[in-house]
């Protein structure tokens, strides 16, 4: 694995940690609650770079979908099917 791959893996792991810490810090993200939207997670965790030509803020958040699905696969969070909001397990 190249140093760049290693750094990328570390960045992804840290990003997942940031999301989990954020969700744990907010009571509304705990199980049996409404949860929180992907957009709020994206912005509150500092992943938003702001609007740029051909890269608006709303387009930047799609990489966070993979991060959230990873956490879901690890059994740490779940997405409510009706509200589409995320919450801790």
Which structural domain, as residue segments, surrounds residue 14? 3-88
- At which residue do the structure tokens 């140093």 appear? 3
CATH number of the domain encompassing residue 82: 1.10.10
For 80-89, what is each residue's pLDDT tens digit?
A: 999 999 999 8
Residue 24: what are its φ and ψ, rounded to 5°? -70, -25
Counting the structural domains of the chain, the total is 1
Nearest Cα neighbor of 69 from 86, 83, 49 is: 86
26: left (phi > 0), else alpha (psi -120 to 50), else beta?
A: beta
Q: Residue 50: enclosing H or E segment and its boundaries?
A: none
For the chain, residues with pLDDT lower than 70 are 1, 28-29
**The predicted structure's pLDDT at residue 29:** 63
Q: What is this structure's pTM?
A: 0.88
């Amino acid at each position: 694995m190249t140093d760049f791959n290693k750094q990328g893996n570390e960045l992804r792991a840290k990003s997942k940690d940031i999301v989990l810490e954020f969700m744990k810090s907010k009571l509304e993200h705990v199980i049996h609650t409404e949860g929180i939207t992907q957009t709020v997670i994206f912005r509150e965790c500092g992943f938003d770079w702001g609007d740029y030509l051909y890269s608006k803020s709303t387009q930047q958040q799609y990489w966070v979908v993979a991060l959230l699905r990873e956490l879901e696969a690890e059994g740490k969070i779940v997405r409510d099917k009706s509200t589409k909001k995320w919450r801790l397990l």
